[in-house]
Chains A and B, each alone.
Chain A
């Protein structure tokens, strides 16, 4: 394929997909290890009401209020889960399921009730995003990468995902040791004077930041899949956290690239006319990688379990 076609049509969606996948997979490692994997699920559901409320308050379909609304909704849901769990003495899984379904229902209802038909805001879009539409119209080929005029026309989602990724990496780099210690031995971390509760909330908020930025571009399916599948597959590959992080990044990149290629080109190779959903395909590929890891990865068994 030539640069003239690839750069404007496929480079930016692919890049955004890859960056979003990595931004979600990195905090996902800690969520999976802390058995909080479904927090990612909950966050990606409550992003919808957050965005709808932000739209109703400001009347704008702009990035800043929507990101704020989504982040606010994530915070509200975390507080709500914790409050229901403590006040009602309810097990965390049920509290989580109760919270995110209620907030999601409220979001759908608000969306249907308000006059949002004129703007590009609907449930389907929220679920599976619109990765294919993030094209770079100003590009004419590989040379555009050096052309400042064309670079100014890059889709704004790219910038947001980059910022989110930098934020995620910065957080992990700054709090690496406390995060690791509190993930593996919470009481030891408390004895060392680490505020484990606050750190846990911070981790969830960073995950929410990644989710919101990714959600904007690729929809919530990829967000959930990337929070869980690459880290889970990486968990089966190694016993060292650093290696697991590296594997998860590799798997995330692989899922995004292969998923995008399969979605965009495989149907054409098979003789169909239209491409299929890239977001769905990326999630599918990440699941296939996890399935392969579950069948063949070197560290797939629990330590101490007999090798079957």
Chain B
């Protein structure tokens, strides 16, 4: 059943929802990446909440003009206009007053949303029943999606992607080095607004599917997930789009199978599941990788200290060190070195002495800069250089037993 949904074999409506949601997820993931890199992820929260008054006003206008108040393009246009005003309010409050951006975001989102609720209650009194569709914008409702709605969503998503493709270079530049971008002749303020406008486009398109409270998640979670897997912006954009699309696809399919599950929350939770997987398992930046790196580092430190102690005939009190040495076959359980251990210990002590000379000698300055107490000297110097240092140290000295 779930497999049928994933492979789009569950009827016309479910297929429509799944495709629309997936396109939306890709567009949101790609756009959100630039928002995240610019460190302004939460501006999307203000944008999404600020759509509500626009939806209300558009509905009222369309009803007053004698049309159908629930026509999606009209509602989305209203949403876009009011969230654009909200966006300008945020940037105006931040620029012209002493308020910080987070206070401006919070103020705009709560006030616009509150005003939107006022308008919704007004609409409810205008005539019962006709406003039924509007509540769906809060949490999204895909059940009654029409072909035209899906077309609007797909078209909007595609347009957003094209815009990102065109603007990706200046936006990347802006995210990493605004001053340099300004020096290159990019209008920073306008490019910032362009990033916001793209986020706004995704928000407005996604209103119908996931609702205005949860659309933020589609802009924030995929980029954060993607950041774990790569250090390159272009890869991050691709991975983020992939994560967003995948989460939306899985989420929409799940909710097609179990109609009691609303689409928006399921998409958000799938997205979160991808995030948790990445947080734990990503190579290099994931929690597991960091932990393993830490364990390896710990072992090397213990090993080195243990070998130096053996070389100088000092007793080892640290149980972990003894265990490590024993496992490597370098010492017995009571901390007495084996022959192998004696040899390794002598080398460790000699390397220590070599490093001492390297670090004291200006000629080896670049090699000395790499000293961190654990690095093998063979990885830094050539055999010739090492034998030159050995000559300075003199002949081999016995290891105390």
- Residues of A whose CB lies within 8 Å of any CB of B are 32, 35-38, 40-41, 45, 84, 87-91, 93-98, 101-102, 104-106, 108-109, 112-113, 123-124, 127-128, 221-222, 224-225, 227-229, 231-232, 235-236, 263, 267, 272-277, 279-284, 286-287, 290, 294, 299-303, 305, 308
Contact = CB atoms under 8 A, between A and B. Distances in A.
Contact of A101 (B112, B268, B279): B268
B213 A88 contact: no
Given A105-B214, A124-B135, A221 B113 contact: yes
B118 A277 contact: yes
A276 B121 contact: yes
B217 A101 contact: yes
Interface in B210-239: 213-214, 216-217, 220-221, 223-224, 227-228
B302 interface: no
Contact of B114 (A45, A90, A97, A281): A281
A276 B56 CA distance: 13
Contacts of A290: 107, 111
Interface centre among B44, B115, B118, B120 (most CB of A within 10 A): B118
Interface residues of B, number: 61
16 contacts: A37-B102, A38-B105, A88-B227, A90-B227, A91-B39, A93-B40, A101-B216, A105-B265, A105-B272, A128-B117, A225-B111, A228-B107, A232-B99, A280-B121, A287-B115, A300-B96
Nearest to A99: B272
Contacts of A274: 121, 124-125
A301 B97 contact: yes
Interface in B84-140: 92-93, 96-100, 102-107, 109-118, 120-122, 124-125, 135, 138-139
Contacts of A308: 96
A38 B99 CA distance: 13
Contacts of B63: none
A221 B99 contact: no
A231 to B, nearest CB: 8
A102 B114 contact: no
B260 interface: yes
B117 A280 contact: yes
B238 to A, nearest CB: 19
Nearest to B117: A280
B195 interface: no
A300 B110 contact: no
B103 A232 contact: yes
Contact of B213 (A89, A104, A276): A104
Interface of B: 36, 39-42, 44-45, 92-93, 96-100, 102-107, 109-118, 120-122, 124-125, 135, 138-139, 213-214, 216-217, 220-221, 223-224, 227-228, 260-262, 264-266, 268-269, 272, 275, 279, 285, 287
Interface centre among B96, B111, B216 (most CB of A within 10 A): B111
Query: Which 5 residue pairs across A and B have the least CB separation, nearest first?
Result: A283-B114, A287-B111, A280-B117, A101-B217, A225-B110
A41 B114 contact: no
B74 to A, nearest CB: 22
B224 A228 contact: no
Interface centre among A96, A299, A308 (most CB of B within 10 A): A96
A87 B116 CA distance: 38
Contacts of B40: 93
Given A277-B118, A301-B98, A228 B110 contact: yes
Given A101-B217, A229-B110, A300 B98 contact: yes
A36 B102 contact: yes
Contacts of B118: 263, 276-277, 280-281, 284
Contacts of B265: 105-106, 108-109, 112
Given A225-B110, A280-B121, A102 B42 contact: no
B97 A300 contact: yes
Given A38-B42, A113-B261, A283-B111, A94 B224 contact: yes
A45 B110 CA distance: 12
B270 to A, nearest CB: 10
A123 B139 contact: yes
